[in-house]
Structure 1
Amino acid sequence: MIVWVNGAFGAGKTSACRELVELLPGSMLFDPELVGSGLCRMLPDDRLAPVADFQDLPSWRKLVPEVAAALLAEVPGPLVVPMTLLREDYRDEIFGSLAARGLAVHHFVLDPEETILRERIEAREEYPADPAASARVRARCRENLPRYRTARRWLDRDARLVDTSRFDPRQTAEHLAGLVRDGAARCPIVHSTDSTADTVAAAVLLFDEQDRVLLVDPVYKPMWEFPGGVVERGEAPTDAALREAEEELGLHLEAPALRLLAVDWEPCTGPRRGGLRLVYDGGLLGAEARAGLRLPVDELRGWRFVTLDEAAGLLPATRYRRLAAALDARESGELRYLEAGRPAARGVAKAG
Structure 2
Amino acid sequence: MIVWVNGTFGAGKSSACRELVELLPGSTLFDPEEVGYALKQWLPARRLAEVADFQDLPSWRRLVPEVAAAMLDEAPGTLVVPMTLLREAYRDEIFGALAARGISVHHFVLDAEETILRSRITACEEYPGNPEASARTRRWRLDHLPDYRAAQEWLHRDAHVVDTADLTPRQVAEALAALVKDGTARCPIVRSSTARGDTVAAAVLLFDEQDRVLLVDPVYKPAWEFPGGVVELGEAPTDAGVREVAEELGLELEPAALRLLAVDWEPATDDRRGGLRLVYDGGRLTPGRRAALRLPPDELRAWRLVSAAEAADLLPPNRHRRLLAALAARSGDAPQYLEAGQPAALGLPAGSTAG
Query: In which range does the TM-score fall when normalised by the shorter chain?
Result: over 0.9
In the alignment, is residue 253 of structure 1 matched against residue 257 of structure 2?
A: no
Paired residues for 1:242-321 under 5 Å: 242-321=242-321
SS in 2 for 1:334: coil
2:18 is matched with which residue? 18
Q: Once superposed, which parts of structure 1, at least 4 consecutive aligned residues long, lie more than 3 Å away? A: none
C-alpha distance in 2, partners of 1:268/1:67? 22
Paired residues for 1:5-84 under 5 Å: 5-84=5-84
Contact conserved, 1:102 with 1:193, CA < 8 A, in 2?
no
SS in 1 for 2:19: helix
Q: 1:11 Cα deviation (Å)?
A: 1.3
Q: 1:192 Cα deviation (Å)?
A: 3.1
For 1:91-137, what per-residue CA distance to the aligned partner results, in whole angstroms no more than 9, with x for missing partners?
Answer: 11111111011010100000122222222111111111111111111
SS in 2 for 1:108: strand
C-alpha distance in 2, partners of 1:286/1:327? 19
Contact conserved, 2:9 with 2:117, CA < 8 A, in 1?
no
C-alpha distance in 1, partners of 2:256/2:76? 51
Contact conserved, 2:12 with 2:164, CA < 8 A, in 1?
no
Equivalent residue letter for 1:204: V
Paired residues for 1:1-352 under 5 Å: 1-346=1-346
- Give the total of aligned pairs: 348
Question: TM-score, normalized by length of structure 2?
Answer: 0.96
Equivalent residue letter for 1:198: D
C-alpha distance in 1, partners of 2:176/2:220? 24
Contact conserved, 1:308 with 1:324, CA < 8 A, in 2?
yes
C-alpha distance in 1, partners of 2:218/2:192? 14
Q: 1:346 Cα deviation (Å)?
A: 4.2
The RMSD of aligned alpha carbons is 1.2
Q: 1:347 Cα deviation (Å)?
A: 5.4
Contact conserved, 2:108 with 2:160, CA < 8 A, in 1?
yes
Equivalent residue letter for 2:271: P
Contact conserved, 2:31 with 2:82, CA < 8 A, in 1?
yes
The gaps in structure 2 that reach 5 residues or longer are: 349-355
Contact conserved, 1:261 with 1:326, CA < 8 A, in 2?
yes
C-alpha distance in 2, partners of 1:10/1:140? 12
For 1:42-99, what per-residue CA distance to the aligned partner results, in whole angstroms no more than 9, with x for missing partners?
Answer: 1111111120001011111111111111111001221111000000111111111110
C-alpha distance in 1, partners of 2:318/2:191? 21
C-alpha distance in 2, partners of 1:155/1:60? 21
For 1:190-218, what per-residue CA distance to the aligned partner results, in whole angstroms no more than 9, with x for missing partners?
Answer: 22332332111100000010011111111
C-alpha distance in 2, partners of 1:290/1:37? 48
C-alpha distance in 2, partners of 1:346/1:229? 26
SS in 2 for 1:260: strand
SS in 1 for 2:112: coil
Contact conserved, 2:212 with 2:306, CA < 8 A, in 1?
yes
Q: 1:310 Cα deviation (Å)?
A: 1.1
Q: 1:256 Cα deviation (Å)?
A: 1.8
C-alpha distance in 1, partners of 2:226/2:341? 14
SS in 2 for 1:73: helix
The gaps in structure 1 that reach 5 residues or longer are: none
Contact conserved, 1:6 with 1:107, CA < 8 A, in 2?
yes
C-alpha distance in 1, partners of 2:347/2:210? 31
C-alpha distance in 1, partners of 2:251/2:227? 11
